[in-house]
A and B are shown apart, each in its own frame.
Chain A
Amino acid sequence: MTPTDDEALAKAAAAGDRAAFATLLDRHYDRLFAFAFRLTGARAEAEDLTQDICLALPVKLASYRGTARFTTWLYRVAVNAAHDRRRRAATRARAADGWGDWEVDRQAAIAAETAVEDWLATAMRALPRELRETVALTLGEGLSQSDAAEVLGLSEGTIAWRMSEVKKHLRGLARAEGML
């Protein structure tokens, strides 16, 4: 356990403690970036999304009540920021969303270093957005179903149902590839 836990740091930062805020950022940037990457599947998108979240954090912290764990709250902020980002992108009539972008920008993505392997990209693209989010939280971040449920504001049963949906999609994918 660190000398000061996330929750205390977050409250201090919300009250104007600069050092607390810096510690929080430093502590969570890498995790945020990894999660953003799992959500979007592209390095540039993930960097931008992480930046969106970090830059908005000073304002958002005011709404942190300390009733949820800080990481849970932060995942929720991240998921919402991803939604906002997608919505803005769509409003500008750009391509659909992260893993879809990846498809559209396949050439660029291959040229860049974000060589996400094909199987993962295909699998993630095959999933509807809400399943992708759920998968990123549970399988990617290793959250329990109840923690993922809290992040997404859903019941645990819904998460369980979504994970069974994920399996169905994976099975369809495997069939298409002749694996099953």
Chain B
Amino acid sequence: MSDDLDRLNDRLRDRLKAAPPAPDPDARARTLARAMENFDAHTEAAQETAPEPRPTSDRPDGAGFLTGVRAMLNRLTKGPILAATASAAALGAGLMILMPSLTGGPHAPLKAPVAPTVTPTVAPTVAPSATVAPKPENPPEAATRTVAPADPAAPVTEAAPPAALPRAAAPMPAASMPAAPAADASGAAAPSEAEALSEPMVEPMVMPAPSAKMAAPAPVTIEGSAAFGYADRIAPPAPTDESFANGPANPVKVTAEEPVSTFSVDVDTASWSIVRSSLAAGVLPPPEAVRVEEMVNYFPYSYPAPAADGAPFSTSVTLFQTPWNKDTELLRIGLQGRMPATTDRPPLDLVFLIDTSGSMDEPAKLPLLVQSFRLMLDHLRPEDRVAIVAYAGSAGLVLEPTAASDRARIDAGLAALQAGGSTAGAAGLTEAYRVAGQMKQPGHVARVILATDGDFNVGIDDPQALEAFIAKERDSGTYLSVLGFGRGNLDDATMQALAQTGNGTAAYIDTAAEAQKVLSDQLTGALFPIADDVKVQVEFNPATVAEYRLIGYETRALQREDFNNDKVDAGEIGAGVQVTALYEVTPLGSPARLSDPSRYVVHQTRRSLGELAFLKLRYKAPGAKTSERIEEVIPPTPTLNPDDDARFAAAIAGMGQLLTGGKYLGDWGWTEAITLADGARGPDADGYRAEAVRLMRLAAALPH
């Protein structure tokens, strides 16, 4: 047996050694010549100020074995317990078991990041502008470099050097973290977690306290993310094998040239969860994982409920001064879906399509998934029915359609799920839709709920074929929701594509608490569409608006003519779901205008000054073929007292932009974002907003 295995191993070795063909001499010569050109360009540029090179390595040169272990432990258990008790044996065992999930190796910059050594006496606003948003600040000299962020490919590789974990010192007002003993920065003996594991490279990071709440002497705190209550989170492994869907940030549009902005609603919140799990692990999220609209939409707002007999959702429009630019205004458009009485809801036919491939065999994946579904079962009613299809290698019906009241059978089905084998997402989907088709009854809502880490690597590999298949099923009335689990090979792009095509939602679940929010609290919303193909079109008035910019919704843009085309698919709104969109609007005559007015083109405008914009919404009643339309005039007068919801949404939009380069933010930075968000928390019964403020503080402390 072992001889056979060795033979196989040798065979692989021989074949691999023999595999590479001789390099093509032309390609070789071309590459070498271009590399030399780059070398010359680089040495020339190096005479001026050389940009910090992106760390090429997943970890520093010459980093020792312990560095990896320490970084890993920091990710996995932020609590001090392990640091204090870990014996050599425990370290060794932990490494063997846990390292496979950290495939890319612990991320750490090659060079120690430059700690912003600002002394506490410096005004707090100086610090973030110096460390967070260097690009917009030095316009003349840096002109050539500021072009870089506009390149859609560049940020993927160049802008996201993962952060050194132990350096994730977070500035926090001491008062708001009772569990954390704040250490004096000057106290060399400060017992930080990093030092407990004795890593010579790590120096205490000194950060000015960002909050205005800090008292005058501004004690500087040194603190790992341990104290923020994330110790129970499963930290993501190095996200080297993940892919995300996002486009370049929407550019500023000149109203006179392009007055109409059209997009599809997006009720997904997956991006926020990814941002959160990255920050909680002390790593900046990859910019392409940051979708501003999904971050904004994660949070509940108190929009008025729609009238009982009118459209299925209401609109709340607010215009107020932009926090990061006093010469522009933010237009907040909020949609609130109707929440039907839960007793009225139609029975549900749910097919759980569960990825049991080998990659799901991690605590944050299959076990969390099973736990999540159990939570959901508690909210189902006896007339609802559930089926489970597993896919791994070959798709199989694990649980026949079963009444939700038969908990014992469902539990047994869930318990029987085991991870192993490779993923064939398409085969599983076919089977799930087949089962859903069988279960389907008039008056019931059928939905396939796909739970996966997104690793579709066997079966139909062609994303287009997969989408075409889902689109066909969507038209037959079966919806699709996608739940992402675990980090490491989360294929966000595929998940997004599937959910958007399937008229469903994509959510990313990293903790049991998030499962509670997504599956239980929002059960009705996530599962009952009240409006399909919801499109938003805003026509700005060139007589009052010089320029505008839609913040987020890059992946949801529609053509102007698509708005009235009922054949063009768009997002759905579920019961009680809220959607928020933000435009940054530059009024005519504002000094903030970025483009020069046209010398020759004079626009004829109608009904001028009394209107800022005209808002149009289109939606279809679920299952309907033709759309309804809602229209509303938006007046040009900004409110002086925007409510908490509007200001908080603005703060989150600012956070999303800070995480993606903050091209339009000027010197507005983390300090301002934190102050704004902190002051707009409102009642915040579930603590989501408080958590956001904590995460902003973590983000502010990470090297950008």
Q: Report A's interface with B, CB cutoff 8 A.
A: 13, 16, 18, 21-22, 25-26, 29-30, 33-34, 37-38, 41, 43, 46-47, 50-51, 54-60, 62-65, 67-68, 73, 76-77, 80, 83-84, 86-88, 90-91, 93, 95-96, 100, 103-104, 113-114, 116-117, 119-120, 123, 126, 128-130, 135-136, 139-140, 142, 152-155, 157-158, 161-162, 165-167, 170-171, 173-174, 179-180
Given A158-B100, A170-B5, also A50-B156 (CB < 8 A): no
A120–B35 CA distance with the chains assembled, in angstroms? 32
Task: Select the stretch in B50-58, B376-384, B430-438 that faces chain A.
Answer: B50-58
The interface residues of chain B lying within 8 Å CB-to-CB of A113 are 21
The answer to whether B39 touches A58, judged by C-beta atoms less than 8 angstroms apart, is yes
The answer to whether A33 touches B28, judged by C-beta atoms less than 8 angstroms apart, is yes
22 contacts between A and B (CB under 8 A): A25-B36, A29-B32, A38-B19, A50-B27, A54-B34, A55-B31, A55-B34, A59-B42, A59-B54, A62-B50, A63-B61, A63-B110, A91-B244, A91-B246, A120-B12, A139-B9, A139-B12, A140-B13, A140-B16, A140-B17, A158-B100, A171-B5
Contact of A123 among B12, B50, B96, B241 (CB under 8 A): B12
A73–B15 CA distance with the chains assembled, in angstroms? 25
Contact of A90 among B13, B31, B34, B491 (CB under 8 A): B491
Given A76-B57, A120-B16, A153-B57, also A54-B105 (CB < 8 A): no
The interface residues of chain A lying within 8 Å CB-to-CB of B65 are 155
Please give me the residue from chain B that is nearest to A82 by CB atom: B240
Closest 5 pairs between A and B when the two form their complex, measured CB to CB: A90-B243, A153-B105, A67-B62, A37-B20, A34-B20
State the Cβ distance, A84 to closest chain B Cβ, in Å: 4
The interface residues of chain A lying within 8 Å CB-to-CB of B462 are 95, 104
Contact of A135 among B12, B59, B61, B111 (CB under 8 A): B12
Q: From residue 454 to 472 of chain B, which have CB atoms closer than 8 A to chain A?
A: 456-457, 461-463
A88–B11 CA distance with the chains assembled, in angstroms? 33
The answer to whether B35 touches A67, judged by C-beta atoms less than 8 angstroms apart, is no
Q: In this assembly, does B106 line the interface, its C-beta being within 8 Å of a C-beta of chain A?
A: yes
Interface size class of B (residues with CB under 8 A): 35 or more
Q: Tell me what chain A mostly uses at the interface: helix, strand, loop, or mixed.
A: helix
A141–B244 CA distance with the chains assembled, in angstroms? 31
Q: Report B's interface with A, CB cutoff 8 A.
A: 1, 4-5, 8-9, 11-13, 15-17, 19-21, 23-24, 27-28, 30-32, 34-36, 38-43, 46, 50, 53-59, 61-63, 65, 68, 92, 95-96, 99-100, 103-106, 110-111, 153, 156-157, 240-246, 288, 358-359, 422, 456-457, 461-463, 489, 491, 493, 497
A60–B161 CA distance with the chains assembled, in angstroms? 14
Please give me the residue from chain A that is nearest to B4 by CB atom: A180
The interface residues of chain B lying within 8 Å CB-to-CB of A13 are 39
The answer to whether B105 touches A91, judged by C-beta atoms less than 8 angstroms apart, is no
The answer to whether A100 touches B461, judged by C-beta atoms less than 8 angstroms apart, is yes
State the Cβ distance, A24 to closest chain B Cβ, in Å: 10
The answer to whether A158 touches B99, judged by C-beta atoms less than 8 angstroms apart, is yes
The interface residues of chain B lying within 8 Å CB-to-CB of A76 are 56-58
A51–B23 CA distance with the chains assembled, in angstroms? 12
The interface residues of chain A lying within 8 Å CB-to-CB of B24 are 43, 47
Please give me the residue from chain A that is nearest to B497 by CB atom: A93
A91–B99 CA distance with the chains assembled, in angstroms? 26
Contact of A80 among B38, B56, B243, B456 (CB under 8 A): B56
Contact of A174 among B8, B242, B489 (CB under 8 A): B8
State the Cβ distance, A138 to closest chain B Cβ, in Å: 8
The interface residues of chain B lying within 8 Å CB-to-CB of A88 are 153, 156-157
The answer to whether B457 touches A96, judged by C-beta atoms less than 8 angstroms apart, is yes
Please give me the residue from chain A that is nearest to B286 by CB atom: A87
Please give me the residue from chain B that is nearest to A62 by CB atom: B53
The interface residues of chain A lying within 8 Å CB-to-CB of B12 are 120, 123, 135, 139, 166, 170
The interface residues of chain A lying within 8 Å CB-to-CB of B40 are 18
A62–B11 CA distance with the chains assembled, in angstroms? 39
Contact of A114 among B21, B156, B245 (CB under 8 A): B21
A51–B462 CA distance with the chains assembled, in angstroms? 27
Please give me the residue from chain A that is nearest to B92 by CB atom: A157
The answer to whether A30 touches B39, judged by C-beta atoms less than 8 angstroms apart, is no
A34–B21 CA distance with the chains assembled, in angstroms? 8
A91–B482 CA distance with the chains assembled, in angstroms? 18
A54–B99 CA distance with the chains assembled, in angstroms? 30
Please give me the residue from chain A that is nearest to B153 by CB atom: A88
The interface residues of chain A lying within 8 Å CB-to-CB of B8 are 167, 170-171, 173-174
